[in-house]
A and B are shown apart, each in its own frame.
Chain A
Amino acid sequence: MKEILILAEHRMGKLRDITFEVLTKGRELARKNNARLTAVIIGHDIKHLAEELAYYADEVLIFEDQRVREFHSEYYQQILSSIILDRKPEIILIPHTSCGIELAPSLAIKLNIPVITDVLDASFENGQLIVIREYFGGKLRARVILRGSSHYIATIRAGISKSEKSEVKGRITEMRGLNLADTPYKRVIELTKPPPEATDLTSADVIVAVGRGIGDAKNLPLIEELSRAIGGVIACSRPIIDMRLLPKERLVGLSGKVVKPKLYIAIGISGQFYHVYGMMNSELIVAINKDPNAPIFNVADYGIARDIFEVLPRLINKIREIKGE
């Protein structure tokens, strides 16, 4: 029988949301190909997580060791290589995360398996893995074929599928007899939590978010004025953090916050996925960006394809006028 293998990702004693999303993709593939779905979980003190996973997979393989208390790409690679060589699953699905992309490419090289990353959708036909993924920051998508192998690795993008729990609990198998080779050339020192914050973006009703289009620091007061005028909180996309215009606590997206305000105004934000992930579930999205083809307009409710410096001053004036200021 065919097998679809997924890697579960967990942090601070909890399975991450992406794990359930990858399980859903795995279940879809398993159903269509009459394959079984196996989840692998690696860590220490994780029996409760394996129990939880068992409701989503036909079998859960659990490997526990002090040395993998935190994610460690080298150990993970040793463990997964051993499992893949032993069980020969057709497809291996790994979360497309900072951990997944540290692991998947090396696993692919070590086992000589084709790999594709940041996958939105996947199907398995005639021994070929066919995936949909984005190119050019989301402006285009492509159907990509991987062939010439009996096994394929794909990393799955976060936030694209819901999780579905099954009625039947799968079997849990403890992995034994696997000797990890020490890796003195790579040491995991610590996992650090985000620092306490001055602003709670996640509870804001109105967010005014700024991106690369703002140019530089001298234009930030425009955003502050707008935000003040409509009672909003200021957030931003990645380039603003990279340019050190705002602190990281203001970042919305994959490496920052996930927000769901009543109103999200995106100013000069192109709408690459690592930002969109954090704001796509806002109740109402208004986007201003001079590029009419910017992917932000694929998620916005109202779009203004104009220069932000043309629109913002007049918008602020209009609001002040109405408020009688």
Chain B
Amino acid sequence: MNIIVCVKSVPITIGAELMVDGSKKRVVLDGTPFDINEWDEYALEEAVRLKERLGGNVTVVTVSSRNVDDVILKCLAKGADRAIKIVDESIQEYDAYAVTRILHAVIKNMNYDLILCGAQAGDDGYALIGVMLASLLEIPYATMARKLELINGYVRVTRELEEGFEEVVEVKLPALLTIQTGINEPRYASIMSIRRAKQKDIISLDLKSLGIIESDFENRIEIQEFFIPEKKKECIMLHGDVDEIVTKVVEVLMQRGARGF
């Protein structure tokens, strides 16, 4: 079973105060740590588990406008066999179509049984690339996979819907699936495995060698400005000494329906 996993390196913005530059079109991310997109981490784990059970190999493909070496190393340490990276400052990561075109150019001539993508990326939340890629490759697909099972040339996928509903579908291989978080419990990369990962193949491709020129991107999507959302309602922030905070919280709880006092 040969599996391709599309992986994105995303800024980890938990705890960060995000700033927008003077043009309002760019978010200042210098100094923000980057890591593998959470959904992609589950996709990679699923791919590695399938490979460990059925043989074959796992190739990670990543497209980025900035350095992704740490994320690639992590993927290789977690069990991917090789990685392909396309890094170019000119890549407009906010344009899902542009990124999909590049992934398509890389993957269309590869041999694979399954392509796994995260259901979405934590930074833009588009949930577009997996299905767009499947459509360009003209292969069957299913999204939001919470469970998958291989049966006679098909993959049976349990898709997560809203409000606790699920749907079971079967798609014929080769297929593309987008993976929802919680499908498995991703392993940690040990120091030993990171050391071993440094011996694995990392292939770097450039846009030109893929036959992609800038005019291929139609720039039909543009961020006009980023802004900080207005609060829906005024939140009263409790500051100061923890004991004072706790006293205030208890007061609020007692006023507003907490039982047992």
Contact = CB atoms under 8 A, between A and B. Distances in A.
Interface in B218-252: 218-229, 231-233, 235-238, 242-243, 245-250, 252
A177 interface: no
Nearest to A293: B17
A319 B20 CA distance: 43
Contacts of B127: 101, 105, 117-118
A254 interface: yes
Contacts of B235: 287, 297-303
Contact of A148 (B132, B220, B227): B220
B31 interface: no
A141 B226 contact: yes
The secondary structure that dominates the A interface is mixed
Interface stretch (A28-36, A41-49, A166-174, A238-246): A238-246
Contact of B161 (A97, A145, A243, A314): A97
- Interface size on A, as a range, is 35 or more
B164 interface: yes
A145 B221 contact: yes
Nearest to A311: B242
Contact of A140 (B175, B229, B256): B229
Contacts of B243: 314
A241 B160 CA distance: 13
Interface string B1-40: 0000000000101111110100000010000000000000
A314 B242 contact: yes
Interface residues of B, number: 86
A200 interface: no
A146 B221 CA distance: 5
A303 B185 CA distance: 32
B172 A140 contact: no
Interface in B111-167: 122-132, 134-136, 140-144, 154, 156, 159-167
Contacts of A145: 221-224
A287 B27 CA distance: 27
Interface of B: 11, 13-18, 20, 27, 94, 97, 122-132, 134-136, 140-144, 154, 156, 159-172, 175, 181-182, 185, 218-229, 231-233, 235-238, 242-243, 245-250, 252-254, 256-261
Interface of A: 11, 70-71, 73, 97-99, 101-102, 104-106, 108-110, 114-118, 130, 133-149, 158, 184-195, 205-206, 229-232, 238-239, 241-244, 248-249, 254-258, 262-263, 270, 280, 283-284, 286-287, 290-295, 297-306, 310-311, 314-315, 318-319, 322-323
14 contacts: A70-B167, A106-B135, A118-B127, A135-B226, A139-B13, A140-B27, A140-B226, A192-B168, A193-B164, A230-B253, A244-B182, A293-B16, A304-B249, A314-B246
